[in-house]
Amino acid sequence: MTEGVDTLNATNDNGVVDGTRYGIGWHRAVYALIFNKAILAEAGVELPETIEEMIAAAKTASEATGAIGFTGRHSMNEFSPWSKDFLNWAYGYGAELVDDSGKITFGTPEMAQAFDAFKAAYDSGIIPIGDQMSTQRTRFKEQQMAFSLDNSGGSLNIATGGPLPGDELGATALPFPHPGAHQQIFLGVNTWSSDAENAAAKEFLSWLISEEGQTSLRAASGPDALATDVPVTAEFVAANPWATTFAEMAADSRSTLIPGYELETQSILRPLMTSLEKVLLNAATTEEALDEAQAEIDADYNN
């Protein structure tokens, strides 16, 4: 299906394992720091480039306008999506979840930086502690929020069908030194399907990565990165100028799946996120929490 096709971009690389292609990218949803343009303008704050600047900007916006400063998942009550969100912080500070020998690594200086940064945001008073992300997104849509760390799908939801016009939502790079994370869907052919089904699936995938297929998919995919570099439509960008930032972020974002442990990612991340919650609740220091998480993961995976 891909023989002779030279338009596939780097978002398809994770579909290749040991030289064999198992899938083609359907779409890639990346994360960015989104903001309410009007609230930031009223507060007179600049776009932050570091977590310290983001906390300060969120506080200023809240004090000047009454808006909530920042939204983000922050509890094991939302473990699965929170773990994906947090990998932006981990990757953002340069953390690697697997070392060169293939062992899972939590107890690193980079992960400690990510824990401390998240703790600083949590303790600063800018986050509505206890609110589920669905509530926070609704408040953002109702123009009650200054900043949020969210993915392209969540941002499209916020910018659609509510009081916040799409052109009043802004997006910028995450306030971390390194690129963040993405979630991605791949499409492949089921080897257990019948010959007729197999042929139909291959025909569809061949069409999907054609210029016609990618153009058709782009119209329905908003800001998400696709298998080829088909640009976001001019009409969509005019109504949602924030979309171009997400397209840029997709170029070097990292998967929320752990390399070599893809199918076990959620089980592996559970002790890490449990430890982070302990730090947030002052039940452990960062060092204690990461030592505990590393010991648990060593017993289960690194022995």
For CA atoms 96, 101, 102, 105, give the dihedral sign.
negative
Give CA–CA dist 166/208, Å, rounded.
28
Residue 122 lies in a domain: yes
Residue 213's H or E segment, with its range, is helix 211-221
If you count them, how many residues does the chain have? Answer: 303
pLDDT value, residue 251 = 86
pLDDT of residue 4 exceeding 80, the answer is: no
What's the pLDDT tens digit per position in 204-214? 999 999 999 99
Q: What is the pTM of this model?
A: 0.94
Give CA–CA dist 160/65, Å, rounded.
23
Residue 105 lies in a domain: yes
What's the pLDDT tens digit per position in 63-81? 999 999 999 999 999 999 9
Residue 155 lies in a domain: yes
pLDDT of residue 270 exceeding 90, the answer is: yes
Is the CB of residue 87 less than 8 Å from the CB of residue 181?
Answer: yes
- Kind of pairing, strands 181-187 and 254-255? parallel
CATH code of residue 89: 3.40.190.10
For CA atoms 174, 175, 176, 177, give the dihedral sign.
positive
Residue 264 structural domain: 29-182+254-301
Residue 241 lies in a domain: no
Q: Nearest-CA neighbor of 107 among 244, 293, 237?
A: 293
303 confidence band (pLDDT: 50, 70, 90): confident
pLDDT of residue 267 exceeding 80, the answer is: yes
pLDDT value, residue 219 = 84
What's the pLDDT tens digit per position in 226-242? 999 999 999 999 999 99
The alpha carbon of 17 is separated from its chain's Cα centroid by a whole number of angstroms, namely: 23
- Burial tier of 29 (Cβ tally within 10 Å: 0-12, 13-18, 19+): buried
Is the CB of residue 152 less than 8 Å from the CB of residue 30?
Answer: yes
pLDDT of residue 193 exceeding 80, the answer is: yes
Residue 177 lies in a domain: yes
The average pLDDT across 245-261 equals 92
Number of domains in the chain: 1
Task: Specify the range with the lowest mean pLDDT, choosing from 49-63, 180-194, 266-280, 282-296.
Answer: 180-194
The average pLDDT across 45-54 equals 98
Give CA–CA dist 81/257, Å, rounded.
12
- Burial tier of 291 (Cβ tally within 10 Å: 0-12, 13-18, 19+): middle
